[in-house]
Amino acid sequence: MAEIRVSGFGRRQTGLGAVTDEAAAAYGRILLAIVGADGEVTEPEFDWLVAHQRSFGVPEHVIDGYAAFDHRSADLDSLLDALDVDVDGWRPGPTLIYHAIQMAGADGDYADAERAKVNVAARRLGVPDDVVAVLHHMVIAETALDAMRTVLFHTAPAPATPQQRCQ
């Protein structure tokens, strides 16, 4: 397995210095399985995943594999079992749930099925309900800050409100 050196952005976000190709691929497949719980991974959701993975330094050959991944028949438990990151002190659960919430809201519609699958994954990963609630609120707050920045700097039309994306 090839090792991927995590970008500076990724290190600041997670504390990880490096991961294997397979760990990065597994992480993306898990996100696809969670976000695809409503039957589809929309283009904005998929674009979020690609941009996210690139920002962490994941190579294109790993990212290219996501397009062929069948999220509809994916077994979340098996995918979670395959997530093997050998890094002392790092718990993937909160980070993965945070990213799943972000990705699920990327299209402006955080569907009930997506929310339910986030909760299933969180329980399976041992992320307490109160932490999941905080992660939802973090995404809402970050979305609001992004919207304020966008409007203030006139960089694009105002995006969906945080409540529209994450409730």
- Please give the angle made by the CA atoms of 124, 126 and 129, to the nearest 5 degrees: 100
* Domain boundaries of the chain, sorted by first residue: 3-166
Q: Where is pLDDT greater, at 111 or 88?
A: 111
Residue 128 confidence (pLDDT): 97
Domain 3-166 CATH superfamily: TerB-like (1.10.3680.10)
Under the banding of pLDDT at 50, 70 and 90, the label for residue 100 is very high
In this model, does residue 164 exceed pLDDT 60?
no
Q: What is the pLDDT of residue 161?
A: 58
3-state secondary structure 131-163: HHHHHHHHHHHHHHHHHHHHHHHCCCCCCCCHH
pLDDT in tens, 14-70: 888 888 888 889 999 999 999 999 999 999 999 999 999 999 999 999 999 999 999
**Number of Cα atoms under 13 Å in the Cβ half of residue 27:** 26
Q: Distance (Å, rounded) from C-alpha 167 to C-alpha 153?
A: 26
DSSP-based three-state secondary structure for 120: helix
How many angstroms separate the CA atoms of 73 and 20, rounded? 24
pLDDT of 86 strictly over 70: no
- 96 class by beta-carbon count within 10 Å (0-12 exposed, 13-18 middle, 19+ buried): buried
CA distances from 158 to 110, 130, 154, 161, 165 (A): 18, 30, 9, 8, 13
Q: How far is CA 141 from the centre of its chain?
A: 16
Q: Give the span between the Cα atoms of 93 and 132, in whole angstroms.
A: 10
Tell me what pLDDT residue 83 has: 78
DSSP H or E run through 9: helix 8-14
Give the bridge partners for 4, in sequence order.
Answer: 19
Confidence of residue 84 (pLDDT cuts 50, 70, 90): low
Split at pLDDT 50, 70, 90, the class of 89 is low
Q: What is the pLDDT of residues 121-162, one digit of tens each?
A: 999 999 999 999 999 999 999 999 988 998 899 876 655 655
Q: Is the pLDDT of residue 12 over 70?
A: yes
